[in-house]
Structure 1
Amino acid sequence: MSTFYLRTESIKTEDIKKLSVISHQDKEIIKSLILPDPCLLEGSRGTGKSFLLKLTEIEVEENYPNCICVYISFNISSLIKTDDHFQFYHWMLAKTLKALLNNLRKKGISIDTNSASLLSNDESENEEDISQNLKEIVKQYENSYKGKSTINIEALPDIEDVKEAIEIICKENNLDRIYFLFDEAAHVFRPEQQRQFFSLFKDLRSPYITCNAAIYPGVTYFGNSFEPLHDCIYLKLERDIRDTNYVSYFKEIVFNQSDETLKKSIQTHESLFITLALSCGGNPRFLLNTLRDISTFNSKNVEQVIKDFYRNKIWSEHTDLGEKYFGHKALIDWGRDFLEKGVIPSIIRYNDARKSSDKQESTIYFWVHKDAPETVKEALRLLTYTGIIRKIDSGIRATKAELGTRYEVKFGCILSLEPNPHNISKAFFNNLAIAKFLEFGKNSPAYNSILDLVEVINDDEGVFEKSISNILLKPISVLELLTEWQKKTLNDAGIYTISDLHNKTEAELIAKIYNVGPVRARIMKRAVDAELLEYISG
């Protein structure tokens, strides 16, 4: 049976290269991430940003002996709740320095007392003491969701001292550069966290430091002090279904994780695989998700999975964001209605009309006027985050030479509405014309039901904290990527809620799971943590 890894966090570092498929675009992205200039890598959920960061870490490790790569994930950021106004900045700084010291230790690099004193505001000169202090600060922040905490951050150094210490470490150990790879840069529904992240991102600029980060499209708040066009190299991770090597690229991704039975089935029914690959619209996680749900690889099952996933599951995941994060619920629900009741029916009517007129044209594209209400733009940004739509370009002229932004609806979302999706997939794809798109002007009646932006979005921390508390009380059954055996095993060990699971250390979990050895329990712990934190982070 094939085992598909849906998240990079579940893959052992030694298996990353074995599972990797590198396109020309991927090579260029990795090359850019190794440049001295800071980079931001933008991509929707499931497109492979974390995987490319990990490949970059391996590339530096293997081919740049005078450089060090430090990979840091901030996916637990939603649980921070203290009296510190700059809590996220301070937590990030402590977590970053802790990760740096761990990496230096693994490399056998010790730091002298001068560097140590710069990395500690309490004048500690012992590397182990500093590491322990940082570990304690990080732990206090990450446990602060249990009750609002006041944390003593006196031991944290000034950012200028951090840069000076890193310069000394590099010079004394013949290092050219230290790369920080930030994943899950900040919680997408906490704009203040994102602004503080980009403050740290910019503050760490130095001839000896390069910061790179993975971010989401449309839902990233840079703050007033950071300008993406001037302060970094801005990269986009997108895979266009119209690219020449698109199908072969995704086929190789699947084959790297498939058993021989599935490989043979795909080779025998290649057209079915092409339909699945096109349906995912460039998102590897979507493709692997649909393949995982196919018991026998035949047209009946493939068509049923396409209908189930792109008519229901993909929308349920988007709606679930509103159920998790109450402050954005109205906007998330409106965005779904706008697509399902406005955009997609209009696209289908257009395609049917062109077909009736014997015109070999079809579309999955729509256009929104540049002066459309901000609420509309915000709702569309959230739809790009979940990957239901993709922003193709802006400044596109439509009827009457008006300017706007062009979007692509996921191929599978349109195809799944057909009675027999596979039967029409090839002709539908071959007739796609990007120059043909549905238009929604600045005063479109489709916007009438949306309220003023201020009334729709509630970024109040109290609302967010209530959302997080609600998430933590949910049963572990909501974690879809856990197997039924895992869920039952955890329940048998007295772990029923997300909070129960999150509060268990690896040692505690291993001790509680009966008849399961430490190695298997540790693998399970890694898998559940990845799924748990993905669920919490949106």
Structure 2
Amino acid sequence: MSNDHDRDIDAGLILAAEECPPDTFSKYHSFSAYDDVIIRKLSSHGPVLVRGSRGSGKSALLLEAHRRMRGEGNILPVYVSLRYLPLLQSDGAEYIEHFCIILSKAIQKELQDRGISFDFGIAGDQLTLQLGLTSLSQNVNKRIVLLFDDAAHIGREKPLEVFFDLFRTLSSNLTSCKASIYPGVTKFGVRFDVFNDSTVIDINRSDVSAGSNFFPDVIRARYPKLADKGSFSDRLSPAQFANILGRAVVGNLRGFILACNRFEEKERIGIPELTSCFLDMATDYFWPLMDEVAPKLGVYEPLIEPARQVVELVVDHAARPVKEKTRSIAQDRVLIHRQIVSHYAKIFEILEYLGFVARREASRALKSGGRGPVFAVNLCHLLEAVPSRRLTFEMIEEWIKGTPDPSEIHISGTTFHEVVLPELPDEHGLAILERPVSVLGKSKTYPYGLTKDMIDRLENAGIRSVGQLATTTNQELDRIDYIGSAKINRIRDVVYQAIWM
């Protein structure tokens, strides 16, 4: 039942763009000139896939494109969140039916919100949906742009083949399909050629420079106090602060926001405070992130431990010259032979998704022969590996500028020789759905998780697993004492974080 007690609920921070109220979206989101290019492509003709790691800003770009297109008279944009549990648990014809119904309802809502008079029925199959889209476009005299968010889930890849087949067939001269995907998404099906049937745009924000404005702009929009020179020590500028934080988390916006939150109560910010932030982010956010993601990786869950090994070895390799005193500053980029990356391909995709590394160059020549990609290393972990575990102004300047010569891992080296790839199981459901609701409690894994009181009330109502909670309706939750609308929103946000990538 609803109760005034809900007014005291700390709803947590707005970390995901899709959870941000529409009336405050502009207040909390800033877009660079590069973002504007992506947004224009999302508004243009033709299918587009926006690829980026968790928290990199994919949803924000889709929502902003939707907002801007609403102001254009010749386009009807439809934003569709595919965070719908039955889609993760179905395949083939059943998946198509769920998908068509979700999209039909999203179109109906868009028409209602825009005050457009057109009777768009609920389609239960692909052909009915295609005919409905064609009729809608012709009757309202607008080009339709479909923006699919959270379409891809690394841990449940089989339905992805069905989704990308729908993505391809729904695209026409009257309907443009756009979707966000993760670096680890590689199963596109036999009928969808990712590069011929779409334009793929990689979100790349980890390459900052002394003159970069993106992260300073985000801080000015969301944290005005942290843009004030008076908040910093004499040698540290607001722009340096913003750019080193952005570079530290390899451009991951969610990690950047969480890092900024650690400074809101600080009276003065200098190198010691930045050092503490880097080390705390490694301990309190990034390493627990592996524990959060593991049970929703499906068949790839056994790869979490070797992924942990790989990132520790990469960081240790980058910091070794400092330990051996051949360099004073650790190299923040690592060039890895392509055969090694190919062998551990899914592990590197998972690490990119989590924000432990970010691919900055697709191919560069190694001094010892051969070629390979260049990865930017998360500075929070790199600082952990440096003997002094202390940040300096010289480190900040070099890491913002970008190391010209990355550290190299050669094919003949022994860096990864102890990393063993486990045998992967057959396709199965997500382990997180079987976990008890108690795993959603406040912790380093879920810093904005559920209180013990909320968990006790859910368990007393017979809701024991995360899967049960995900399928419990809002009406059923509202009937539980002291759980009203605010708490229901909190529960939904935590469940979404737990299940979806």
Q: How does the TM-score come out when normalised to structure 2?
A: 0.84
2:151 is equivalent to residue 185 of structure 1:
yes
The structure showing larger relative contact order (alpha-carbon pairs under 8 Å, at least 6 residues apart) is 2
1:522 CA displacement: 3.5
> Which of residues 520, 529, 533 in structure 1 aligns to 2:492?
529
Name the CA shift for 1:473/1:14 in 2 (closer, same or farther; >3 Å). closer
Q: CA RMSD in A?
A: 3.1
* Residue of 295, 313, 319 corresponding to 1:348: 319
Deviation at 1:233, TM superposition (A): 1.4
Q: What pairs with 1:277-292 in structure 2 (closer than 5 Å)? A: 277-292=246-261
Cα offset, 1:366, TM superposition: 1.7
Q: For residues 511 and 378 of structure 1, do their structure 2 counterparts lie closer, same or farther at Cα, with a shift above 3 Å needed?
A: same
| Shift, 1:429, TM fit | 2.0
| CA distance, structure 1, for counterparts of residue 32 and residue 180 of structure 2 | 18
Q: Is the 8 A contact 1:39 1:232 kept in 2?
A: yes
Deviations 1:392-416 (A, max 9, x none): 2223211343122221111222124
8 Å CA contact 2:437, 2:469 repeated in 1: no
Which residues in structure 2 correspond to 1:268-279 (within 5 Å)? 268-269=232-233, 270-271=236-237, 273-274=241-242, 275-279=244-248
Residue in structure 1 matching 2:357, options 374, 389, 401: 389
For 1:249-398, list aligned pairs within 5 A: 249-258=214-223, 260=225, 264=228, 267-269=231-233, 270-271=236-237, 273-274=241-242, 275-294=244-263, 295-296=265-266, 298-299=269-270, 300-311=272-283, 313-325=285-297, 327-340=299-312, 342-352=313-323, 356=326, 362-372=330-340, 374-398=342-366
1-structure distance, mates of 2:447, 2:306: 30
Whether the 8 Å contact between 1:367 and 1:438 is mirrored in structure 2 is yes
Q: Secondary structure at the match of 1:224?
A: coil
Distance verdict in 2 for CA 1:510–1:250, change over 3 Å? farther
- For residues 266 and 16 of structure 1, the distance between their equivalents in structure 2, rounded to whole angstroms, comes to 28
Could you tell me how far 1:232 is from its partner in structure 2?
1.1
Bigger mean CA deviation after superposition, 223-232 or 306-315: 306-315
Amino acid at match of 1:471: R
Confirm or deny that 1:438 pairs with 2:408: yes
Letter of the 2:139 partner, please give it: E
Specify the SS of the correspondent of 2:106.
helix
Is 1:55 paired with 2:55? Answer: no
Give 1:181's aligned amino acid. Answer: L
Mapping of 1:402-417 within 5 angstroms?
402-417=370-385
Distance 2:344 2:255 in 1: 25
How far apart are residue 470 of structure 1 and its match?
2.5
| Equivalent position SS for 1:242 | coil
Asked if residue 242 in structure 1 is aligned to residue 211 in structure 2, the reply is: no
User: Is residue 467 of structure 2 the alignment partner of residue 469 of structure 1?
Assistant: no
Equivalent pair of 1:194/1:222 in contact (CA under 8 Å) = yes
The aligned amino acid for 1:332 is I
Q: Contact (CA 8 Å) 1:363, 1:434: kept in 2 or not?
A: no
- Aligned twin of 1:216: 182
Distance 1:476 1:357 in 2: 44
C-alpha distance 79-234 of structure 1, shift in aligned 2 (>3 A): closer
Per-residue deviation, 1:101: 2.2
The range that moved more, 374-383 or 198-207, is: 374-383
- Taking structure 1 as the reference length, what is the TM-score of the superposition? 0.79
* TM-superposition CA deviations, 1:170-207 (whole Å, max 9, x none): 222222x1111111112111221221111110010111
What is aligned with 1:26?
35
Q: Match of 1:216, as an amino acid? A: Y
Q: Quick one: which of 96, 101, 108 aligns to 2:108?
A: 101
Paired amino acid for 2:218: I
Q: Which residue of the partner structure matches residue 124 of structure 1?
A: none
On the 8 A contact 1:38/1:212 being kept in 2, the answer is yes
- Structure 1: which 5+ runs fail to align? 117-126, 135-155
Corresponding position of 1:121: none
1:67 CA drift (Å): 1.6
Aligned-pair distance for 1:242? 2.9
- 1-structure distance, mates of 2:175, 2:291: 40
User: 2: CA distance between counterparts of 1:10 and 1:527?
Assistant: 10
Question: 8 Å contact 2:96–2:126 — kept in the other structure?
Answer: no
Amino acid at match of 1:218: G
- Residue in 1 aligned with 2:474? 506
Q: Please list the CA deviations of residues 357-403 of structure 1 after superposition, one character each: whole Å capped at 9, or x if unmatched.
A: 67xx7522222222337441221111111111111222321134312
**SS at 2:70's partner residue?**
helix
